[in-house]
Each structure stands twice: as structure tokens, then as C-alpha cells.
Amino acid sequence: MFRPKKNSDQEDKPPKKERGRRRRFVFWAAITILVLFGAAVLINAGYYVGSISSGAFCATCHIIRPSVELWQVSTHRNIPCSDCHGSAFTLSVEAQRTHWERLYLQLTGRLPRDVALKDRHVDALNERCIACHQQAGAAWIAGGHSMRYRDVFLNTQQNRSVQLNDDCFRCHGLYYDRGAVTTLVEPIDTTGPWRFRDPAVADRPAIPCLSCHRMHTPGSPAARPNYAEPRRIGQTREAPVHSLAFYDRRERLSVPTRQLPQPRLTDTGRSVTMSPDRRQALCYQCHAPDTSYHVGSGDDRTPVGVHEGISCLACHANHTQDARASCATCHPKMSNCGLDVEKMDTTFRSSDSPNNIHWVRCEDCHRQGVPERRAPGS
């Protein structure tokens, strides 16, 4: 009887029935693993999505737990972490790289001492702040605190008069995290020409929002007053808890204004009357007097003369620092001479004036003697 010869492959193959059973086994094993995998993904995704809004997911990392706890009692408590910090579901290669780096460090036990924002994170956060606070962002851009690294560190006039040094970072580039100023600019001298070692930093904001604001700080979201008692709204309104704080680069810590020191200045031996406004402690961190603590020394602009005792923020808008509306806010009620103060010879009217608006005194205009103060209503 003729029997066809099998090739070697066919000879090695198990019987057809066994092969079918094996394939079914593999098929159902795959289905089982797939179901398990799907369940794991769904549980993770569900847990992530469900807990991201409460911060619970973020709080599972014990290193950032204190930050999460502060956020939970902050003004931004109803805004998910991902709205400011981004989420794991991002197409940003840089963000993904950072996430995997952190996971690797976590799994290998090389935990960072603290989780702190890097300068590139602060840049991204700045944009996200402005995305919601657009009016404040526009005011910041138009004001005197929106300078970029190029405006500060490549300023020829400044660099020729004072050699760049690490202390510049105290107020400019507070979040610069690559080390000394030598890592930022070269050459470090007063002749130049100066250039950035990494040109990508040129347009980075030198004083980003987080220089003066601490997001993770206790506060309440805005709430409507009690309209059942409209006449008492003014008296029962809660004092706003502001986020003002100074970012100390050395400690990588935002110090709230209530903890910041208020200077006690003198004017030729006389103690200057200072405004009790705690907010201006923030201004003094950078617009500071020199070690003599004499008014007008260093970069200090503490008012003396007719404006003594007035807070910086009584005249300067908080984001633009614009003081154009300040005269109309107080004058003429507080004016002693009844003149249009905006037209008087001060630096408010012209930067060429010898009479600085911060320090102008009656004697500056009344060189022959100050007339008697007029009685109210006369």
C-alpha cells in the first residue's frame, strides 16, 4: 500500500488534535491576561481620574504630601493639581522624561531630599497662571517686573558699572537652578561683550509670578457675601488672605509677607514713620536700603516728606507698579496748598524733575519758607 512520505517538519509536528488544544490554551491564556491587564489599567485609570481632583493621587507620594495638604486648604483647592502642574497624560517629551526619571529614582531608592520646582517648570507655571489670571498677567507684562533674562543679564549699561555676581539672582532669576552666574553668562567682567552660555534662557522671565506669590498657602476661594444682611457686608467681610511671599532662592522657600522683616529706617538720625502695611515687606526684599538703613539709600524708595507713612501699595498698582492714578486717589483732600499736584514740579510729572515724588517736601517748592497751613474748609 502506498503511503506518502512525510517531510521532516511534518514528522515533528504533534497530532492535529493536540495542536488545536494547545492553540486554544494559548488563546484563552491570552484572553485571561488581557482581561487582567485591562482590569489593572482600568483600576489605575479610575483611581487616577477619581483621585486627581482631590489631590489624593498626588498625596500618595509622601515627598509632596505637605504641598498637597497646603493646597487642600488654599484658594486654589478646587483646581486639580494637573491644571497647574500638568498630568501624566501629556505628549511633552520633556515632561515624560521627568516622570520616568522620578519613577526610576523612586524604584531605586534614590529619593530626592525635597521636590522643588526647576526653572523650566516655573516657566510653564507662569503661562498657566496667566491663562487664568489674564488681567493680572497683562498688568504684569506692562509693568516693571516682566523683564526677561536678556533684559537683566545682558544689560550693557548695568554690566559695565557692576560686574555680574551671584547676588543678582536674589531678585532676578530667583528660580535659576543651574548654579552660579558663571553658568549663565560669559564673560564675567565689566568689558563684555556678554552672552548667555545657553541662549535658550534669554526670554525666560526673570521675576515670574512665583517670585512674589506662594500658591500653596491657606486661603478661601472667593464667596458671595451674606445678602440677607446687606448693610453688614462691609463689616462682616473676611479679610483676604493673600498669597504674597518672597521666594528665597537659597532656602528654596517662599516666605509669606507676615514673616518677612519690615525695615526701620532713619532720615538723618530721625526715625521715619513707616506704613504698617505688611505687604510692602515684600517690596523691601529687593528695593532695599543699604546697610546704613538710611531712607533713599540703596534701591529704597521709602517716602519721606509730604508722603511719609504711605505704603508702597497705596500708590503703586500691584502688578503694573503704575502710580498714575495715585494722586487722584488721595488729592485734593490731603493737599495742603490746593494746587493740582499732578502738575507740580516732581518726578511724577517728569523724570527730569529734581524733586523725587517719594521724598518731595514742602521746602522743595517753598524755598522762601513754607506758608502757614490753611484751616480746613478755608
* Shortest Cβ 125–another protein spacing (Å): 21
User: Is the CB of 34 or the CB of 233 nearer to another protein?
Assistant: 34
Q: If 0-12 CB within 10 Å is exposed, 13-18 middle and 19+ buried, where does residue 254 land?
A: buried
Omega before residue 187 within 30° of 0, cis: yes
Q: How far apart are the first and last CA of the chain?
A: 139
Nearer to another protein, 141 or 253 (CB): 253
Q: How far is the CB of 253 from another protein (least distance, A)?
A: 6
Cα(322)–Cα(317) distance, integer angstroms: 5
Nearer to another protein, 69 or 198 (CB): 69
Instruction: Quote the least distance from Cβ 35 to another protein, whole Å.
Output: 10
Q: Which one, 288 or 330, has the nearer CB to another protein?
A: 288
Task: Supply 165's cell numbers.
Answer: 555676581
Q: In terms of CB distance, is 124 or 323 closer to another protein? A: 323
Residues, the chain: 378
Please state the closest distance from residue 293 (CB atom) to another protein, in A. Answer: 4
Neighbours of 179 (CB within 10 A): 10
Q: What's the CA gap between 192 and 111, in Å, rounded?
A: 41
The contacts of residue 86 (CB under 8 Å, 6+ apart) are 92, 95, 124
Q: Helix, strand, or coil here: 75? A: coil
Decide: 236 and 225 in contact? Cβ < 8 Å: yes
Within 10 angstroms of residue 205's Cβ, the number of other Cβ atoms is: 24
Is 41 or 138 the residue whose CB approaches another protein more closely? 41
Q: Indicate the residue among 136 and 347 with the shorter CB distance to another protein.
A: 347
Nearer to another protein, 238 or 352 (CB): 352
Q: How far is the CB of 263 from another protein (least distance, A)?
A: 5
To the nearest whole angstrom, how small is the minimum distance from the Cβ of residue 175 to another protein? Answer: 15
Are β-strands 245-248 and 253-256 bridged in parallel, bridged antiparallel, or unpaired?
antiparallel
What DSSP element (H or E) covers 245? Answer: strand 245-248
Name which of 268 and 368 has its Cβ closer to another protein.
268
C-alpha cell at position 360: 518731595
Closest separation between CB of residue 25 and another protein, Å? 12
CA–CA dist 72, 124 (Å, integer): 22
* Cα–Cα distance for residue pair 244/252, rounded to 1 Å: 16
Distance CA 153, CA 309 (A): 34
Which 3 state secondary structure label does DSSP give 350? coil
- Tell me whether residue 24 or residue 374 sits nearer to another protein (CB atom): 24
Q: What gap in Å lies between CA 320 and CA 205, rounded to an integer? A: 15
- The nearest distance, CB 288 to another protein, in angstroms, is 5
Q: Least distance (Å) from another protein to the CB of residue 132?
A: 27
326 - beta bridge partners? none
- What cell numbers appear for 58 in the block? 498626588
**With contact defined as beta carbons under 8 Å apart, do 163 and 188 qualify?**
yes
